[in-house]
Chains A and B, each alone.
Chain A
Amino acid sequence: MNDLLQISGPTWGEPDTAAADRIEAALGADAIERRVEHRGELTLDLPLDRYIEVCTYLRDQEGYDLLSDVTVVDYLGYAGEVAGYWGGDGRDINRDSHSGKRAIPEPAGPKRFGVSATFAKVMTVTDGNHRRLRVRVWVEDGESVPSLVPVYPSADFHEREAFDMLGIDFAGHPNLRRILMPEDWGGHPQRKDYPIGGEPVQFSDEV
């Protein structure tokens, strides 16, 4: 049977632990707080004040020339009892079954929001291995993250979207305004405490 099966997913190449080692050698051991490896994907958790420094190092010295994605994740209630299930209305639907979580996950990080950037090597590849690497910083609500735009200009729309959808403030972004939602929209829809349904229907005011 086994010759009929294969693992199909797109690969990241080998996890680039060597790059992480070089970052620690060049910028000091405190430049990386934690390394997380999951399914062959290496994530480096960085202290907030070393974020830009490490990203610049990755671009200039390690050859990560493409910023492929900036993702912000709201971990509010992530490791909690019901954790957003069935709309997060507090019902504890028998946790031992499939529908609840069989195991409560470990807390993902120290703060509420994880801001991660995924880099890829495109033009700088010499050994035919287009590696990828993800870096991540953690912030609380209201804390600001330094903007990646001066280092990677393509972070522009990604960070505007993160600001729009999750309300993360990117300090130093030249044009931080809403991109997808209307300019006068209240709240940030992708936050876990933003209600689903129940928002006022647009353009339905009395005429």
Chain B
Amino acid sequence: MAATEEPRVWPQMDVLQPTPSELWPSSDNPDLLEINIGPNHPSTHGVLRVVTTLDGEVVVGLKCEVGYVHTGIEKNIEQKTYWKAIPYVPRMDYLSFFSGETAFCMATEKALELEVPRRAEWIRVLFQELARVHSHLVFLGTGSVDLGGIALLFYCFRARDEVLDLFEMACGARMHPRYCQVGGVAEDLPKGFDRRCREVIAFMRDQFDQYDELIGANPIWLQRTKGIGILTPEFAIKMGMTGPNLRASGVPYDLRSANGGYGAYRELGYTPVVEQGGDVHARFRVRIEEMRASIDLIEQVLDGLPEGPTITDDRKVALPPRHELHTSMESLIHHFKLVTEGFEVPAGEVYAPIESARGEFGFHLIADGGAKPWRVRLRSPSLVLLQSFAKLCEGVYLADLIAILASIDPVLGDVDR
């Protein structure tokens, strides 16, 4: 790299008019062709309907229709006590499932002003990073299929299975583990987890190098991705983009390091991964590099995992250990009260944003002093990501539209909730 680097000049990007998130064709040329991509289409990564207007092969109009997998999670959580609401959350963003659980638990802990054992925080970081690796692996695999490279899918899904095995080892479930609890994590790491996890780390590092070789020097890949769908930092911020897509445009904003981070990231220290291109290629690159950084973080956690309890000893919030139920009347009462009635959270509203695999995942929790949330609002990153999709596709070829959609990586469960 040159010692004095010229500051990059970004192209001008204006917000679409009249609507920021839809591209309306400017002419009423009768030869324009309107086609539906989706709702059931392999490259929409879920059920997304993209109504595209084509002039020849060039996109001149685009709007996204979402809501096909809307399941009313926000409304459902209002009917559940806090700790029974946890399983709903990972089902939104089903690729980085653990981030959702953690966000909900952290929001509840913030509202309760509850202290969490250090070991639990470190374990949460471990699994958040594993979920991030899992999400990015699926992104890379399916993204490469969208661009015509089948091989990478099988590599990525094999590696993804190793991650899911680790989840299974720790909590019995491969996806949607419900491992995070308000006040800590459900159980301590099992015996042999450390050794297995280190094996996976070594395996992953080797895999990432292979991915680099598979796509990094592939001229077809580079032609399909370089200079396509350039997203300028100003436009990204205007449209509310966060996460890897923003960092691919050169903005080092990562909630794991902003304001010192949250949870155990405060102790671990993390430097955001940044790419400068802002195009599809940079968005793929930033995720591969982020997986490397995540693996480093996981190793850091395994090396420095503090001893101690894994869940708070506040019996009004966390279930007592199983063995105490046989000997202690008090524990039995606490267990019964928690399971039947839950715990109360003081009235007030909190917003706890954490960094999921696709950006700022925020939990806006409005408590009324009772055992159920009055209202929760899930600020899902994917819904916001889709807003800039129309602008990115202005004037590109239809095949590049697929590449751009793959590169911004929305999860439709997260969009629709």
Contacts and interface: CB of A to CB of B under 8 A. Distances in A.
Contacts of B354: 10
Given A68-B240, A68-B379, A71-B377, A101 B386 contact: no
A69 B368 contact: no
B67 A181 contact: yes
A6 B115 contact: yes
B20 A105 contact: no
Contact of B369 (A5, A103, A123, A152): A103
A98 B368 contact: no
A114 B335 CA distance: 36
Nearest to B237: A65
B387 A154 contact: yes
Given A66-B237, A122-B251, A9 B259 contact: no
A102 B379 CA distance: 30
Contacts of B366: 73
B339 to A, nearest CB: 11
Contacts of B416: 180
Contacts of B296: none
Contacts of A84: 78, 374
Nearest to B251: A123
A153 B16 CA distance: 9
A23 interface: no
Q: Is the interface of B mostly helix, strand, loop or mixed?
A: mixed
A180 B70 CA distance: 6
Interface stretch (A24-32, A35-43, A49-57, A137-145): A35-43
Contacts of A99: 340-342, 371
Interface size class of A (residues with CB under 8 A): 35 or more
A102 B377 CA distance: 24
B176 interface: no
Contact of A8 (B106, B240, B242, B341): B106
A129 B343 CA distance: 34
Given A122-B237, A123-B233, A156-B21, A39 B72 contact: no
A121 to B, nearest CB: 9
Contact of B75 (A101, A134, A178, A196): A196
A181 B70 contact: yes
B256 to A, nearest CB: 10
B351 A154 contact: no
Contact of B110 (A5, A9, A149, A157): A9
A123 B312 CA distance: 37
B66 A8 contact: no
Given A98-B371, A99-B341, A130-B259, A66 B117 contact: no
A7 B368 contact: no
A33 B343 CA distance: 33
A118 B351 contact: yes
B118 interface: yes
B121 interface: yes
Interface in B179-203: none
A67 interface: yes
Contact of B240 (A75, A154, A196): A154
A129 B387 contact: no
A106 B239 contact: no
Nearest to A3: B118
| Best-buried of A6, A83, A175 by chain B (most CB within 10 Å) | A6
B233 A5 contact: no
Contacts of B340: 99
B400 interface: no
A101 B370 contact: yes
Interface in B358-417: 360, 362, 364, 366, 368-372, 374-375, 377, 379, 383-384, 386-387, 416-417
A106 to B, nearest CB: 7
Interface string A101-131: 1111110000000000010101100000110
A123 B274 CA distance: 14
Contacts of B240: 66-68, 152, 154
Contacts of B343: 98
A7 B113 contact: yes
Given A68-B362, A73-B375, A196-B79, A10 B344 contact: no
Contacts of B234: 123
Contacts of B309: 4
Nearest to A153: B20
A23 to B, nearest CB: 20
B373 to A, nearest CB: 11
B205 interface: no
Contact of A174 (B19, B111, B337): B19
A13 B262 CA distance: 11
Interface string A55-86: 00000000001111101011100100001110
Given A154-B387, A189-B75, 14 more contacts: A4-B309, A5-B115, A5-B312, A10-B255, A10-B353, A65-B238, A66-B242, A87-B79, A98-B337, A99-B340, A130-B259, A152-B238, A157-B21, A174-B19
8 contacts: A12-B259, A41-B350, A41-B351, A73-B375, A74-B375, A98-B344, A103-B369, A130-B258
Interface of B: 15, 18-22, 66-67, 70, 72, 74-75, 78-79, 106-107, 109-111, 113, 115-119, 121, 233-234, 237-240, 242, 246, 251, 253, 255, 258-260, 262-263, 306, 308-309, 312, 337, 340-344, 347-354, 360, 362, 364, 366, 368-372, 374-375, 377, 379, 383-384, 386-387, 416-417
The 5 closest A-B pairs by CB, nearest first: A154-B240, A9-B110, A153-B20, A10-B262, A105-B347
